[in-house]
Structures are given as C-alpha cells and as structure tokens.
Amino acid sequence: MNLKGKRIVVTGGTGSLGKVLVRRLLSGEMGLPASIVVFSRDEAKQHEMRLDYKHRKAATDEIIYHNFQELLEFVIGDVRDYHSVAGVLREADVVFNAAALKQVPACEYFPFEAVQTNIAGPENIVRAIRENKLPVDTVVGISTDKACKPVNVMGMTKAIQERVFITANLSCPKTRFVCVRYGNVLASRGSVIPLFHDQIRNGGPVTVTTDNMTRFLLALDQAVDTVFAALKGAKRGETYIPRVPAANMLDLARALIGDRKIEIKITGIRPGEKIDEIMISEEELYRTVDREKYYAIQSILPELRSGEDKPANLQGEFSSATDLMTYEQVCQMLKDRKLRLEDVDVTEGELLR
C-alpha cells in the first residue's frame, strides 16, 4: 500500500513508537502523505514534538498558528472520547492506533483506566467508522506480546483490543482492520535499558526481577518496520509478528555494566509480570502463516480466513524462552544499536531519536 497523497492519523503519536512512526512517514519511504495528524491528549508533548519538527529550540504560542495547513498537524483529543475520535477520523484514509496505557504495574493498580484507553479507545475508532460511514481504508492496531496468554491487565486489555479490531472487519466491511504484536522495544520510554543506564550512572545496584527472566527485544525502527509490513501485506483480520531475537535480562544487565564494578540485585517479580513472553500461542499455531520476515496470525473468526495459505513451520509456541541470544550476541546487539552507556548521551530524548 502506497501512502502518497493519503491522510494519516496516528493516535498516541507523541509516544515512543508514535514519534518514530511519524518520522518514518515524513521521510516518504511509503510515499509522502497529504497530511499526518498526531492525535493525543498531552499538549506539552505535542508542543515539544512541534518544536522538533520545526527545528526550533523554543517558541511561544505563535508556533501553533497555521497548524491545520501543515503537513504534520497536531490535534488535542483522547481515544476515550467518542466525539473527538469521530472528528479526527472524518477525512482519514489510514489510522495507526498507538494510543495505550502500557506500563504493566500502572495498569495493575488502575485496571479500569487501562480498559478505557486500550479497549474503549479502539471501540471508539470502530464505532466512528461504522456509524458515520467514514471512508477509512485501513486501521492498524498496535498490540504487544503481553496480549498472548495474558496474565496482566495491560496484556488482557491489549488482547481485547486485538479482538475489537479484528471483529470490526465484519461490521465495517469497507475498512481493513489489522494488528501488529511485538515485544519489548529497546530504549522506549519506561523500558529497561534507560532504567539500567540510569542505575549504572548512579553507581548501582542494577535491579533485575529474576535471574531467568527473558524478553523479546527489537528496536523502535524494527517496530515501525512491522507496522509498515502489516500495512502493505496483511489481509483483513491478520496480526503480524516480527521474527526477532530474545535475551535473558540478566545477560542484558551484565552486557550494559561491562567491566564496571556494579552490583546486580535480584528484586523479585513485579505485579503482573511474566518470566517469559509469548508472541504466538499453541492455539494460534494452526492459523499462523509465513509472510517473508514475519509471521501472520489469521483471524480466529472463520469468516475472515481464506484457507489459501499454508501453516508456518512452527513446532511450538513462539516464546522468548527458546532460541535465546548468547551473552556475546547481546553485547554485539547493544554495540550495533549504539545502546551501550559509553555510546550514547543517555537522556531520554537521545535514546528515542
């Protein structure tokens, strides 16, 4: 799918993924859109992102003037609010839903807040398209490995988001709804590498919850690659999964510490945390197919499965506990991504660029 001349809406566009997604859209690699709307509720983050887009270090209120005539447009709103969602989608061709409550412990303590953003938000997108007969071509829902066999509120709500979007293919037959599901994004806001870097800078200890905890790891640009791959190749109701490596979190901590004399402290599992993550469950194996560098999980609804694709050659669930990177491979990955402490200015802004 070429995005040249298309009108794009990115919900949660000021988040870690949203910012990289917008940058890639502006590059024109998928064709230069007619407009890109960043839809989010945080005016301060929008202001910072607008300054960055305009290559300004500081500005007063006049920077917002002519907002609606710009290629990159900012709209204050909340996916929880149906009226603001219906308004921003009125002329959209493609919607990327990156708005989410994603921090696992926060969702455990405020579960209904997660429900409102991660479930009611997607339903508002579907409802706006359905009730107003909006000519939206494609909606891409951003999900997580935690949605597979979920044990925490964040994963549970993201699992329901996937089903909300997938089922919408039946009630909104002129719009294609697809999802992407991926693992921990390296250096994203609230993730483990910025935390480890901060702990190392302050002399430790570096905290790891258990010595056998594993996670899938990918860079922000790999996450966007997955989004673009789904946009180009996913059939209605499919969920795209990147084939990415996994690592033991203790190895990751040791690789970041290097030769420094810093203690690693085991703190115990946090509320809602898994030891291993799963991208594709045993139940999903029989409807998982190959899509070049990705797996595609076909819809659980038989009406949305064509039956033309052969199942992928997976012998068991796609888990972070299998095929782990060695310690040496983790070190090389950090070096390649320039994520070692000595390679970066470890401010959040630098890590997210």
How far apart CA 163 and CA 172 sit, in angstroms, is: 14
With vertex at residue 225, the alpha carbon angle to CA 94 and CA 15, rounded to the nearest 5 degrees, is 70
**Going by C-beta distance under 8 Å and a sequence separation of 6 or more, which residues neighbour residue 338?**
344
Q: Is 146 a catalytic residue?
A: yes
Of the listed 146, 149, 158, 235, which one is catalytic? 146
Q: Is 146 helix (H, G, I), strand (E, B) or coil?
A: helix
The percent helix, strand, coil of the chain (3-state, each to 5) is: 40, 20, 40
Q: Is 186 helix (H, G, I), strand (E, B) or coil?
A: coil
CA neighbor of 231 nearest in space, from 138, 135, 124: 138
With vertex at residue 268, the alpha carbon angle to CA 182 and CA 143, rounded to the nearest 5 degrees, is 15
Kindly state the DSSP code that residue 236 receives in the 8-state scheme. T
In one-letter notation, the amino acid at residue 8 is I
* Beta-sheet pairing, 278-280 with 184-185: unpaired
Catalytic residues: 146
